Amino acid sequence: MDISVVVPLYNEEESLPELVAWIERVMQENSFSYEIVMVDDGSTDRSWNVIEELRAKNPCVKGIKFRRNYGKSAALNAAFEVVQGNVVITMDADLQDSPDEIPELYRMITEDHYDLVSGWKKVRYDSKLAKNIPSKFFNWTTRRMSKIQLHDFNCGLKAYNIDVVKSIEVYGEMHRYIPVLAKQAGFTNIGEKVVHHQKRKYGVTKFGWNRFINGYLDLITIMFVSRFGKKPMHFFGLWGTLFFLVGGITTLWLIIKKLVCLYGGMPFRQVTDQPLFYIAMLGMIMGLQMFLSGFLGEMISRSSADRNKYFISKKML
């Protein structure tokens, strides 16, 4: 099979028939073999009924229905487990992503040999205050932290080599960071394509301001886990040792200073009367706690089921 189109959706009953008809037209014009995997993320409208109706007309339409709303990451992950196409295309169900981009995205994966191609909505029709400006800041931060030079990490329109989606796990709010997950799995040939962005035709957006807060928290999580997930002692042990040494040396210096003053008959303050002593003690306690946290994390990491998880690109046995 050439292409799997993955469409996560939540309360998008009005747009689904038009979207599927558009995808079908593009596939037929380019003679692609395909499947459309639609994931109903706990919709409360008739979205699932519409999917069933579309399936009755076209067996290439497939559906997954969640019992409740789990989020876009869960929807993508569920679809990635069942897709069969050599190239996987993800797009939103609100008709803001154009299926006309599919042939070029497919070519970039199959001929230019990209592992992943991310869409870039260079010209957007969203509210500038609500989405545009925060999105630019979000993407700038992600570029700096991940070292992946993409302009639009959160664009729903992306193309993947099938090996990529079978090698990553998308959870929480990590759908924003699929390029980062792919890079961590060893898929470093990541490209970008300017795509046409359309105004929403039906319904209203399902995302609020909280997605930006959650997005940054998830970015910190994924960057930390990628560097120290298998070796927590390298982070907690280093900083724990540093805090403990600084606190211990400061305390020792205060004690020596008191003894020198006492021996020389000079006035002095009691060690326990000095605020610096309590700051030093706090540093020692924090250092000890961080060191123990790293030690416990190391023990947990060594006993985890995926402690030796790695990805093989080729075999010759």
Res 257: pLDDT: 86
> Under DSSP, is residue 83 helix (H, G, I), strand (E, B) or coil?
coil
Residues 141-193: pLDDT tens digits? 778 878 888 988 888 899 999 999 999 988 877 888 899 889 988 899 999 99
Say which residue, 296 or 64, is predicted with more confidence: 64
Helix (H, G, I), strand (E, B) or coil at 252: helix
CA distance 52 to 56: 6
pLDDT greater than 90 at residue 131: no
Mean per-residue pLDDT, 277-298: 88
Lowest mean pLDDT among 72-86, 108-122, 227-241, 299-313: 299-313
pTM of the predicted protein model: 0.72
Given a cut of 70, whether residue 18 has pLDDT beyond it is: yes
CB 187 within 8 A of CB 164: yes
Kindly indicate the confidence band of residue 211, based on its pLDDT and cuts at 50, 70 and 90: low
Of 17-31, 75-89, 170-184, give the lowest mean pLDDT range: 170-184
Which pLDDT does position 313 carry in this prediction? 47
Instruction: Give the model's confidence band at 203: pLDDT under 50 very low, under 70 low, under 90 confident, else very high.
Output: low
* Helix-then-strand count for the chain, H and E: 10, 7
Averaged over 289-295, what is the pLDDT? 86
pLDDT of residue 126 exceeding 80: no
Q: What CA–CA distances, in Å, run from 154 to 26, 98, 143, 182, 280?
A: 24, 16, 12, 14, 44
* Interatomic CA distance for residues 7 and 19, integer angstroms: 10
Percent of the chain with pLDDT over 90: 50
Residue 82: the pLDDT is 94
pLDDT at 62: 95
Considering only CA atoms, which of 32, 26, 27, 38 is closest in space to residue 62?
Answer: 38
The structural domains of the chain, with segments of one domain joined by +, span 3-228, 233-303
**Residue 246 neighbours by CB distance under 10 Å:** 15
Q: What is the percent of the chain where pLDDT is above 70? A: 81
Which residues partner with 97 through β-bridges? 197
Q: What is the pLDDT of residue 214?
A: 65
Task: Name residue 89's beta-bridge partners.
Answer: 5, 159
SS (H, E, C) 154-216: CCCCEEEEHHHHCCCCCCCCHHHHHHHHHHHCCCCCEEEEECCECCCCCCCCCCCCHHHHHHH
**What pLDDT, in 10s, does the model give residues 50-61?**
999 999 999 999
Question: Confidence band (pLDDT; 50, 70, 90) for 100?
Answer: very high
User: pLDDT: is 143 or 127 the higher one?
Assistant: 143
Instruction: Give the CATH fold of the 3-228 domain.
Output: Spore Coat Polysaccharide Biosynthesis Protein SpsA; Chain A (3.90.550)
